[in-house]
Amino acid sequence: SKDESGFAAPPLVSRGVAVVAVGYDTAPRGHMDAMVLQVRRSLAFLVRRYPGSRGLYLCGHSAGAHLAAMVLATDWTEYGVVPDIKGAVLVSGVYDLEPILHTYVNDALSMSREVAQRNSPMLCVPPAAPTSCEVLVAVAQHDSPEFRRQSQEYGQALRAAGWSVSLLDLAGVDHFDIIEKLSEESYVLTQVGEGLPSAL
């Protein structure tokens, strides 16, 4: 939940960056289509609420990286705004939902193949936007082979579509501490965030 995501804020806030932790309805209450829609609407709300923003940066871990990647694939014409997304840090994400269909994870999600396909960032990579958006796809050395495979393939798919992409394979961390260490000033992903100009 957004209440558990505040640990990453202090190093960024100390540099004048406004940090927004977006909440969404998780399964089984939330359906995958609804989760993606909620996060997209949140971005549209932020653009309207802070019209003087100098750009937005997305960051998500695991399911959050999936949702941030779906934001990158958004057709904004139906939202009436176009967020100025300057960059995205996608950490140990899920970019192809089809492998989940026959696992216990889908017990709560109840996804059909169609739902999984239309909500898989790997299957809906848009051409790169005219404005520059830097995407960092990070994966942990001790992530599962599936997380590592999907990170590599999604990064390649973005690059093939003209996006500016960097892939970061972080040594000595697993699926959980790759994001938990964001509270540490000296951590490499914290330094990536601190290298961003003040956004909102």
**In this predicted model, what pLDDT tens digit does every residue of 65-85 receive, in sequence order?**
999 999 999 999 999 999 999
DSSP codes, 22-47: ---PPTTTS-HHHHHHHHHHHHHHHH
Q: Identify the sign of the CA torsion 84, 134, 31, 8.
A: negative
**CATH of the domain spanning 2-193:** 3.40.50.1820
Arithmetic mean of pLDDT over the chain: 87
- Say which residue, 6 or 159, is predicted with more confidence: 159
Q: Tell me the C-alpha distance between 66 and 61, whole Å.
A: 8
Q: Which long-range contacts (CB under 8 A, 24 or more apart) does 111-118 make?
A: 111/32, 115/31, 115/32, 115/33, 116/32, 118/33
Q: Which residue has the tokens 């000296």?
A: 186
Catalytic machinery residues: 62, 143, 175
- Name the residue ranges covered by the structural domains of the chain: 2-193
Tens of pLDDT along 94-131?
Answer: 999 999 999 999 999 999 999 999 999 999 999 987 66
Per DSSP, the three-state class of 50 is coil
